[in-house]
Structure 1
């Protein structure tokens, strides 16, 4: 049995916060954005383990040296086509200060095909223009740790019809600029017969217009004028929020048509402890807040806008799912035999997210686990090994670790630990 403190890399993406991760870790903020803290073995940014002699060992190296660290079930769920052992999941803290890219993730077949295509084109795996950095799909589950806002999935037809009818009328009658004829026509066909194909045509026209330098500025200017008109139109408070979000994105990403995404994507607000599951093909973006996120071990992202990174509208349109419905907010299940344990269940076979709010012993079955502390400092022990776990830090428990005892350092039993593990492994 073995527990190890983890040394986790932080990604300084431009949309990150200078304060949120520092607040979680209870340290002074820095001057540069800190967007994502990664916990895992993904080759793009692997964690390291702090060994007993004080030395740091990269987690991939540790997994290669210790065949039993993963366990047979987890070993089958790592990166496809990779001979080196990998964790089946990647665990993150997100600290979102400004809107991040409108994006989608592939399924397994799309990921494998995209990876081989970019390999054949000799695009380096770390190149900025690369979308497929591995062969894996990327289902993911996000759980808010502060108030959190995002965009997720296309709005239901009844909402899109009202929005697109109003948008088309504005472009035709009120806007001073010439309306894009192909977009107007596509909206008209969708209004006559709602469905996946007609909505797909509208979305593709938004992408095509946005990719054309001659028409991009016009579309963004028209969209901004429409958003301003809606904000001045006396809408109910519940309806006006999406136009405020669009205004913010237009300010953060001037000239980017992706800033109009609040017009057609569901606006989602999560309270702390609420979650979203995102399967392959679901278009989404995050707007503000802090969250933990767990996913299959992949870094495959295809983007459509609101980013300084590589945008591939053609590939995104090919893999996105054009279903139009409300996005379900995921609530945890609380097993009756384990007070203080909440389980976030999903269709993913690679991972399960759990929250532990009461000190004591929890049992771990097959596979590895990562234990993240988002509360006061605690002590974690298994067998003869005991480690302090400060706020915002994590421990790695290998396959052979069968239990973990959690102790508070003060009075009371309240803790806040998020655990990434295989489905059904923690009880």
Structure 2
């Protein structure tokens, strides 16, 4: 077992208090957006031994196929899509050949991996995920009665369906749309909301996002997306090709080991319209809540098919004085999400974890058991024969 020291990302949309409080650190007022736990080369974790010496986690674990992020959003993240593996391989090779540095602002593909991901909520967590059905988008746009909303409605009504929605997104991202037209839509949404008219929180969402990005065309795009709220302990799975934007809250993200993101708005970062449109390949709302499976009474496992990863969440209490056995795997990352626990292996090794602390369990750390009072989340690659969690579409 190795305790981990993990990289921190201070993006502008982060929270100045959520992650520092979770980690027990002093707050300095700067936004803390993410903590990366894994072996991605842009921010690898370091493994500590019993004497406090550290070395890259890759020296201990090799390249892990998954990554865990602790994420806290106080402002909306960018509207984005994650590419498939084939698009990632092509895009990475193209940008490598062009000599674009990995840390260049206009670099899109940082690696050759696809990036499906699962969100496990630690607080109430709000996201925009996947397109609404055409009929619902038309219901949203119709009452706004602005020139832009009417134009979008006319186009979609003439040819409804996923392909037409993607064409609308492409048009919004490529046309030179006056910010005043965005302001008109936000004003109409605000007025309708004050009259008690809203359709599945579409108008509320546009008004909330406009407080942070008043001129951004992403505000208009948000009207076409489903809004999902996860309560603590709930999870959602996003396949590649699904447009999304996390809005607020704190979560654990488990994903393929990748940092490939194609953006569509609500950001000052580079937007690759053609690449994003090409990546939109997952139908109307190919996103699902993940229904966990239970191991005994203490552990629930979120294991979406196709992700290549799973998350086992274990509650530890005095009701299990001998501890709870963790899921056996060929290497896993464990993070304490509440309380204080002790992890013990068959060999007698012991590590104590407080909230926010994490460790790597190697294949040699057999029979790992956790004791105490708290909660731990364990990310790992499930065996091919493992049961897969049931997915429930949001629409």
Fold similarity call, TM over 0.5: yes
1:204 to 150, 170, 178: 170
Q: Any idea what the Cα deviations from partners look like across 1:250-297, whole Å, max 9, x if unmatched?
A: 121231111233311000000111111000100000011010010010
Instruction: Specify which structure has the higher proportion of helix.
Output: 1
What is the alpha-carbon distance in structure 2 between the residues aligned to residue 156 and residue 423 of structure 1? 33
* Pairing partner for 1:305 from 265, 269, 274: 265
Residues 420 and 200 of structure 1: is their aligned pair in 2 closer, same or farther, counting only changes over 3 Å? same
Does structure 1 residue 339 correspond to structure 2 residue 303?
Answer: no
1:94-105 superposed matches below 5 A: 94-105=71-82
Offset of residue 243 of structure 1: 2.0
1:21 is the counterpart of 2:19: yes
CA distance in 2, matches of 1:198, 1:363: 47
Q: How does 1:24-423 map to 2 (within 5 A)?
A: 24-63=22-61, 85-167=62-144, 170-172=145-147, 179=148, 187-209=153-175, 212=176, 215-235=177-197, 239=199, 241-321=201-281, 323-325=283-285, 327-335=287-295, 338-348=296-306, 350-358=308-316, 360-382=323-345, 383-408=347-372, 414-423=373-382
CA, structure 1 residues 216+400, in 2 after alignment: closer, same or farther (shift >3 Å)?
Answer: farther
Separation in structure 1 between the aligned mates of residue 316 and residue 232 of structure 2, nearest angstrom: 17
| Runs of at least 5 residues in structure 1 that lack an aligned partner in the other structure | 64-84, 173-178, 409-413
Preserved CA contact (<8 Å) 2:344 2:351: yes
Question: What SS class does the counterpart of residue 186 from structure 2 fall into?
Answer: helix
Question: C-alpha offsets along residues 160-186 of structure 1, whole Å, 9 cap, x if unaligned?
Answer: 12123334xx124xxxxxx5xxx8555
- Where has structure 1 moved over 6 Å in runs of 4 or more? none
Preserved contact between residue 139 and residue 295 of structure 1 (Cα < 8 Å):
yes
Distance 2:105 2:309 in 1: 28
- Does the 8 Å contact 2:16/2:32 carry over to 1? yes
SS at 2:382 equivalent: coil
User: TM-score, length-normalised on structure 1?
Assistant: 0.84
Provide the rounded CA distance (Å) in 1 between the counterparts of 2:59 and 2:193: 55
Structure holding more strand per residue: 2
Distance 2:237 2:16 in 1: 27
What's the counterpart of residue 80 of structure 1? none
- For structure 2, the residue ranges without an aligned partner over 5 or more in a row are 318-322, 388-395
Which is bigger in relative contact order (C-alpha 8 A, separation at least 6)? 1
RMSD of aligned residue pairs (Cα, Å)? 2.1
- Equivalent-residue separation in structure 1 for 2:9 and 2:311 (angstroms): 22
SS of the equivalent of 2:335 reads: strand
TM-score, normalization by structure 2: 0.90
Q: Deviations over 1:195-243 (max 9, x none)?
A: 222222222222223xx3xx2423322322332232233316xx37332
Structure label with greater radius of gyration: 1
* Alpha carbons of structure 1 residues 316 and 99: separation in structure 2 relative to 1, 3 Å: same
SS in structure 2 at match of 1:235: coil
Aligned partner of residue 285 in structure 1, secondary structure: strand
